[in-house]
Structure 1
């Protein structure tokens, strides 16, 4: 793997906590990747995520679209977002990273951080926006910023459009895999780890597509019902961190240990919370046919090899959860407007095409979907570099 364009570690002079920034690649001088906050976050983790962002951007390259893929990057802070000191750490981190946000790194919400918190901290340190580095690439900056701001104001059944598009993309990847395999939706059960931004939206779209959500795990444990959970009731009863108020559970809902979601009798598992959730020690408990990586890097490579050997297909994060990032740029560059129906239709079309292409390439090459996605990105990166130049 090539060395990243930039890699740095920051230490907070107040708390001693560390933060990281890795810019894996620049395209037209700009990169894209969210900012996460979680205890135990490491530079190695952020480097892997930044490389993944390079792949996600390349996979969405369409020479006929207005959206021009950027390079890949990622930021991370080793801190519990629930810690009373977390916001101050975030502000000081962004103050230190301000030169990079202004010139080369566009960022936004990720694990542990919501977009409104990122925006508030960005304003506090004098940034125009967390994505301001891309503004010089826009044909009409004022119109583009207005379009994105209006899109963030769109609410669909109590949830913001910005939260829903990522889950729409995950769901479409799952549905594409099911359709290719001839698996009926009404007989497909789903278990999710995480009911936050990505997990909650994914659960909603899969339930509305006719699948049965039988288990959901949050920080308190796993809630399960083999007959199906009331997804909308759980979404309405969750807090800002995706934790469900147990008072909302129905008589048939059971409370199980936190890792019970792994062994749930379901055809589809959706890890939508933390990285490295599936490893060699616990992968043997999985009986599902598909794992859709709504989180970043939830399945360790060694575990994925063991899963593949026994017929479990891992739909990779670089494909499955890429719609969140792409939606920002589809909207900002003007491929879509600030409208929910238009956003969902575009997302479904793009994600179905990308997932189908990935699975077809995997079948043709006799390899895994992840290897196929990497091969597709490897085909496109030189094309992008030739068209826009390579900034490394």
Structure 2
């Protein structure tokens, strides 16, 4: 499906550092769009536009006419800076201050690559904002109750990790398990390699390991940790810093330290790129021997690489479905479809993600296309339905 031009694209230049930030609003529904804010060196307007379009698709794919949560439009923000840089926090505050008119009225945002929700919340308060999602407040039946419910949900921990950090990984894992079930592949003995061990990658590894799969490789910024017999995922999780980097002192004698790109050729049936965009290109895709690539990150597989992978039988499960659970969990909680409860959240995520992944794979089989093309076809079906109910805003 061809992507129309976004509703709005904005480039901001910081007067202190000269660095640039971006905001793209792809589409509005009921006057509001949702999508996170990322910070990474090399971030571009084109990248943010692709992410904003992806958010429109994720929102549409979770449309439930009976739900309290009504999908928003799609938007995304980006800042070209290393989040570890000394000037990063001040830059974030100035960006949010500059974007304040949009955040107050039409753009609901939150954490994304390089930024935690706690950091976004702290910077938003310093920038004079009530909340990073305050544009949604006029759409709520009871704003006070909704804000309290979301705050309570963010305070929930499961085995030492916040529910907000686990929701997305639960959704990714369910997409993997759905694909395995459809292929009649047992969980035991199925090997997984994960690139990125932050919020999404770490949670995905935990859920897959607990389902009985073997995590044989994990890559972070320092390199790849590997063990053909399986890594101790819980020990690695406990040894992460705030950026998802693992303290190597927890590695066991049988664990190996390999180069950063070794995860690509790890002996695994499932690869989970859960870090940066554009990680798999036409060159390095040749090293991949996995059966499935599951996009926990946004846009990690370049289209040209995906075509080559498909030609040799590698299935890519696309980001717009696979990693959409985080966004859905936020809104289900805020709008009141679920409460601030881990059991209820995981049950809803598992049910929704299995249904959505299954629907996508059914459509791919029926149309003789890739899962990504099938997901795009589902979006093309749903956007007019949403527009018929709420109107077109372009």
Which TM bucket (shorter chain)?
Answer: over 0.9
Q: Deviations over 1:268-314 (max 9, x none)?
A: 00000000000000000000000000000000000000000000000
Q: What is the match of residue 381 of structure 2? A: 379
Tell me, yes or no, if structure 1 residue 350 matches structure 2 residue 352.
yes
Residue of structure 1 equivalent to 2:100: 98
Q: Which residue pairs with 1:43 in the alignment?
A: 45
Please say if 1:213 is aligned against 2:205: no
Report the alpha carbon displacement of residue 341 of structure 1 after superposing the two structures with TM.
0.3
Q: Distance in 1 between matches of 2:357 and 2:19?
A: 39
Aligned to 1:161: 163
- SS in structure 2 of the partner of residue 186 of structure 1: coil
Aligned to 1:248: 250
Partner of 2:139: 137
* Paired residue secondary structure (1:187): coil
1:390 deviates by 1.4
Counterpart position of 2:55: 53
* Corresponding position of 2:230: 228
1:109-150 alpha-carbon deviations (Å, 9 max, x no partner): 000000000000000011110000000000111111110000
CA distance in 2, matches of 1:287, 1:187: 16
Other-structure match for 1:72: 74
SS in 1 for 2:11: strand
SS at match of 1:20: strand
Q: Distance in 1 between matches of 2:69 and 2:175?
A: 21
Candidates 194, 197, 211, aligned match of 1:195: 197
Distance 1:174 1:300 in 2: 20
Q: Distance in 2 between matches of 1:230 and 1:330?
A: 33
| CA–CA separation in structure 2 for the residues paired with 1:343 and 1:331 | 8
Query: Could you say which residue in structure 2 is the equivalent of 1:10?
Result: 12
SS at 1:379 equivalent = helix
Structure 2 equivalent of residue 116 of structure 1: 118
Structure-2 separation of matches of 1:205 and 1:146: 28
Give, in whole Å, the separation in 2 of the partners of 1:65 and 1:292. Answer: 28
DSSP-derived class of the 2:188 partner: helix
Report the equivalent of 1:265. 267
Determine if the alignment matches structure 1 residue 319 to structure 2 residue 321.
yes
Structure 2 residue aligned with 1:28? 30
- Partners of 2:213 and 2:338 lie apart in 1 by 28
In structure 2, how many angstroms separate the alpha carbons of the residues matched to 1:352 and 1:242?
A: 27
- 2:364 aligns with 362
* Unaligned runs of at least 5 residues, structure 2: none
2:393 is the counterpart of 1:388: no
Shift in Å at residue 244 of structure 1? Answer: 0.4
Task: Answer whether contact 1:28 1:390 (CA < 8 A) is retained.
Answer: no
Number of equivalenced pairs: 392
What is the SS of the residue equivalent to 1:62? coil
CA RMSD of superposed structures (Å) = 0.4
Which residue of the partner structure matches residue 87 of structure 2? 85
Q: Give the C-alpha shift of residue 187 in structure 1.
A: 1.6
Task: After TM superposition, give the deviation of residue 5 of structure 1 in Å.
Answer: 0.8
| CA apart distance, 1:362 | 0.3
Alignment partners' CA distance in 2, 1:242 and 1:266: 22
TM-score norm. by structure 2 comes to: 0.99
1:315-335 Cα distance to aligned partner (Å, 9 max, x none): 000000000011000000100
Q: Give 1:2 deviation, angstroms.
A: 1.2
In the TM superposition, what is the alpha-carbon distance from 1:79 to its structure 2 partner? 0.1
Partner of 2:183: 181
Q: CA deviation at 1:3?
A: 1.1
Question: Is the contact made by 1:190 and 1:268 (CA closer than 8 Å) also made in structure 2?
Answer: yes
| Unmatched runs of 5 consecutive residues or more in structure 1 | none
TM-score relative to the length of structure 1: 1.00
Tell me, yes or no, if structure 1 residue 275 matches structure 2 residue 250.
no
- Asked if 1:292 is matched to 2:294, the reply is yes
Residue 126 of structure 1 is matched in structure 2 by 128
